[in-house]
Amino acid sequence: MKFGIVTFPGSNCDVDAIHAVTDQLGQTAVSLWHRDHDTQGCDVLILPGGFSYGDALRAGAIARFSPIMQEVQAHAERGAPVIGICNGFQILCESHLLPGALMRNAGLKFICDWVHLKVDGTAPLYLAGYSPDQVLRIPIAHGEGRFAADDATLDALEHSGQVVFRYCDAEGNVSDAANPNGAARGIAGITNAAGNVLGMMPHPERAVESLLGSTDGLPLFESLLARVGA
């Protein structure tokens, strides 16, 4: 399977994503520049973490208008997989490929830490490798990760199984105490209605080898491989 990792000016997790899909998953990855208009036949597109355009105006607001975003949108509309991690999630929300927005952390501080996530939702493309309600340990690193949307949007997301990850404690309890950034309803990751566009603040690409503390991100990519084909 061929992954395209988009680099925007200010992306800093693009190499981590390439490492995860090539060295850990044995797949092919190409680096795509934000000015490109050719996604080189990639099966999956990843918008990585970082600080595109230095977070000027709002995180992801400028990157949304990068030339390659037209291709990312077309890829998403074809039903092909698009993953936005951290800044990538912010870009997908700014692009309206995902609903809601990511706001300044409730505690105002940038948080770099390990968190627990509870698997929720019904997106088999990304969740097939997990058991329902499984508790994962995956790192976060963000200052603007507080997911926000109006109540009607949040209700609709929950109702249709589009909330795929929630912050929880080690036992799997979703609570305010386990919510690092004040995200609405503890939401850490969502998909679009079709289930092919995934956005999440935690970094699954940094949790793919035991040497670095966790392999809980691997099943996400393996689910994709099983569904889309190797």
Partner 1 sequence: MSRFRVSVHIVPRKGLLDPQGKAVADALHALGFADVEDTRIGRHIVLDVNADSAAAAELSVKAMCDKLLANPVTEDYQIASTVTA
34 binds partner 1 (CB under 8 A): no
Separation CA 107–CA 21 (nearest Å): 33
| Residue 93 designated active-site | no
Rounded to 10 degrees, the C-alpha dihedral 159/162/164/166 comes to -60
Task: Give the footprint of partner 1 on residues 169-188 (CB under 8 A).
Answer: 182
Task: Give the footprint of partner 1 on residues 132-151 (CB under 8 A).
Answer: 146, 148-150
| Residue 86 designated active-site | yes
111 binds partner 1 (CB under 8 A): no
Q: Which residue is catalytic, options 86, 116, 142, 168?
A: 86
Q: Which of 2, 104, 137, 227 binds partner 1 (CB under 8 A)?
A: 104
Contact between residue 105 and residue 111 where contact means Cβ atoms under 8 Å apart = yes
Task: Give the footprint of partner 1 on residues 57-96 (CB under 8 A).
Answer: 57-58, 61, 65, 93-94
Residue 229 region, left (φ>0) first, then alpha (ψ -120 to 50), else beta? left
Task: Report the nearest approach of partner 1 to the CB of residue 97 (Å).
Answer: 13
Which of 119, 54, 116 lies closest to 87, judged by CA? 54
Which residue's CB is nearer to partner 1, number 27 or number 52? 52
Task: Report the nearest approach of partner 1 to the CB of residue 100 (Å).
Answer: 6
Listing DSSP states for 82-144 in one string gives EEEETHHHHHHHHTTSSSSEEE--TT-S-EEEEEEEEE-S--HHHHTTS-TT-EEEEEEEESS
| Residue 203 designated active-site | yes
Interacting residues with partner 1 (CB under 8 A): 57-58, 61, 65, 93-94, 99-101, 103-108, 146, 148-150, 182
Active site residues per annotation:
86, 203, 205
